[in-house]
A and B are shown apart, each in its own frame.
Chain A
Amino acid sequence: MVRDITLGQFFPGNSILHRMDPRMKIILMLTLIIFIFITFNFFALGLVVATVVVIVGCSGVPVKLFLKSLKAVIFILLFTSVLNLFYGSGTALWHWGFLSITLAGIYFAIFISIRIIELIFISSSLTFTTQPTDLTDAIERLLKPLNHLHISVHEIAMMMTIALRFIPTLLEETDKIMSAQKARGADMESGNIVQRIKAMIPVLVPLFVSAFRRAYELAMAMECRCYRGGEGRTRMKQLHYSKVDFYCLGAVLIIVSGVILCNIFLPAVMR
């Protein structure tokens, strides 16, 4: 069962989003996420919502998967929007004891919940359409300027690469150790939380020991293959911006200016 895990949530396909350069994708997604949070009226919000609908539609990923990714945050979503419902100031439309709902409160609740949903949809569309390794690659290249601040971007990227590579291996190993301990009579499924955490110790100790041994061997193997840090290292895979990237860049720029114009010329309903 563990063998089948897929890291990240990549959904294979050949949509515009799949074909975009991962660097451009990250930049544009971040831009959109920032602009979700600076929408102050329904026109601006509507524009961003429309954009997200188009992105989800273009991604070639079933909408069901997007809705699934909402599941994790459904509680936070309800909690914050209900809380915000009672938070607004102004004339009360309805009140019960010290709780009162105002028009501002309703606006708040709507904005907050839509913003969270969009945030999830946009970040999911990035992870659904990009391989984890491509993400790591893109992050390494995007952060390259940080080298001037003496931050070793290559090392961070190498750590992410190795983590991605070893998560399935270590999960498989955890599975094996758990079976081995169960075969020796360990009970991991019953008892309260404290008992269950205690039952995990005989799993974690061998897991750590083996992880350190693996790390030692991997370091040795990397040295055998002439690894000596990022300096003088080339890459087989080159990233290239293509036409699709520039079309998307243009589209996002138009949307962003639309949002800014809406914010300036139309009355704000949010702070």
Chain B
Amino acid sequence: MEAFIKAEHVSFHYENEDEHQVVQKNVLEDLSLTINKGEFVAILGHNGSGKSTLAKHFNAMFLPSDGKVFVDGIDTSDEEKKYDIRTRVGLVLQNPDNQIVASIVEEDVAFGPENLGVPAEEIRKRVDSALKAVEMYEYRMHAPYKLSGGQKQRVAIAGVIAMEPSCIVLDEPTAMLDPRGRNEVLTTIEKLNREKGITIILITHYMDEAVKADRVVVMDEGKILLDGAPREVFSHVEILKKHRLDVPQATELMHRLKSHGVNINEMPLTASECIKQLEAILK
């Protein structure tokens, strides 16, 4: 597998304007992480563990105070390559309302390629295919404020896709959405990963979303606590609990049964797996 994003011993602290605060707490602490091409990685961690801060290191919005980040082999601290990096790594933020610039869907999607100086006919093609990829093509002439939350977030994703990135980082894209909107966005993300081979980094608080990833990275206090396949990471129920993190409900249920002496060999991740195991036990 080929490494796409490489963070090497990254430390980061916010430059505080408040001079009285002498102690500069590191938000990221000697963090190393490699994301491979085409991977679907979920990043978990409780509030303030530094997930958003890390995400902004991936597209050169932030530069490490210490250490290095490489994107597709380019050092993010290279000022001249800043926009190169941002076309390779697109960032989608939590609140769709605050990332949409234009008052017509297709014009907003065109915003990124327009900034890159792409010729008009090429932009047209990219916008159409991006809107089709997120299944919002019929809404191309609509006003964004009339769309539902899930639709708005898909427009925001289309805006990033139109820049033809190899990787999309999504910082809690479903946090402000209802269950239906969450489902729409997640399906879109999975499809992009599978069909277009786009590397996905999904920051989330929802365990059922994390379970869908190829790999789960758990952060705590600016460090990486666990890193591995979902099944492996969620088998460390005790460690996760100690750090105030949830596990999927199915895993939680089986974990409790196990601690009460029920014989279970493998921890389930999804409800359907859980049902199968319960059926086997109850027979």
Contact = CB atoms under 8 A, between A and B. Distances in A.
A233 B114 contact: yes
Interface string A222-239: 111111100011111110
A235 B111 CA distance: 8
Contacts of A238: 120
A218 B94 CA distance: 12
Classify the interface of chain B: helix, strand, loop or mixed. helix
Given A133-B107, A224-B61, A225-B160, A233 B115 contact: yes
B117 A233 contact: yes
A133 B114 contact: no
Contacts of B160: 225
Contact of A236 (B97, B120, B163): B120
Nearest to A232: B117
Interface stretch (B21-29, B98-106, B215-223, B264-272): B98-106
Interface string B162-173: 010000000000
Contacts of A164: 103
Contacts of B124: 236
Given A168-B143, A220-B61, A220-B93, A226 B86 contact: yes
Contacts of A235: 110, 114, 120
Interface in A197-227: 214, 217-218, 220-227
Given A224-B90, A226-B112, A234 B99 contact: no
A169 interface: yes
Contacts of B146: 3
Nearest to A165: B103
A162 interface: yes
A258 interface: no
B59 interface: yes
Contacts of B93: 217, 220-221, 224
B101 A218 contact: yes
Classify the interface of chain A: helix, strand, loop or mixed. helix
Interface in A93-150: 131-133
B114 A224 contact: no
A21 interface: no
A214 B97 contact: yes
A133 B119 contact: no
A7 interface: yes
Given A168-B145, A169-B97, A224 B102 contact: no
B103 A172 contact: no
Interface of B: 59, 61, 83, 86-87, 90-91, 93, 95, 97-104, 106-107, 110-120, 123-124, 127, 143-146, 159-160, 163
Given A226-B115, A233-B114, 13 more contacts: A133-B107, A169-B145, A217-B98, A221-B101, A222-B101, A223-B86, A224-B86, A224-B90, A225-B101, A226-B86, A236-B106, A236-B110, A236-B127
Q: Which 4 A-B pairs have the closest CB atoms?
A: A221-B99, A217-B98, A236-B110, A236-B123
